[in-house]
Amino acid sequence: MNEVEEYINHTDIIFNGRWKTFIIEAEPLFELNTYRAFTDCLATDNIHYYETIQATMRDYLKENNSKYDMTTETRTLGMPE
C-alpha cells in the first residue's frame, strides 16, 4: 500500500465543502466532553455515555442526509459510515 491509498475515503459520504459545513453546524448539538464522562459517570457508565452520543449522531446523520453529498442515490448509511 502506498501513502496515498491509506488516505482514500472508503465511505459513501463525500468529504467536500458541504460535509465540512455540515460537521461545523452539527458540532454544537453533541456534547463530547471527556472530562464530564470521567467525572460525572462511573467507569462502567462511560461506555453508555458515548454509545448514547453515537446513536444520536447516527440518527442526526440519517435525518439530515440532504445536507451533505453521498456517492449513492439511495442516500442510506451503512458500514463503514
pLDDT of residue 20: 94
The three cell numbers of residue 44 are: 462502567
Binned at pLDDT 50, 70 and 90, residue 9 comes out as: low
Rounded to whole angstroms, the Cα distance separating 56 from 58 reads: 5
For 38, list phi and psi in degrees, rounded to 5. Answer: -85, -20
Rounded to whole angstroms, the Cα distance separating 24 from 35 reads: 22
The distance between the two most distant Cα atoms of the chain, rounded to a whole number of Å, is 44
pLDDT of residue 22: 94
pLDDT tens-digit series, residues 41-78: 665 667 777 788 888 888 999 899 999 999 887 777 76
Query: How many C-beta neighbours within 10 Å does residue 24 have?
Result: 9
pLDDT of residue 10: 73
What is the C-alpha end-to-end distance of the chain, expressed in Å? 22
Has residue 3 got a pLDDT over 80?
A: no
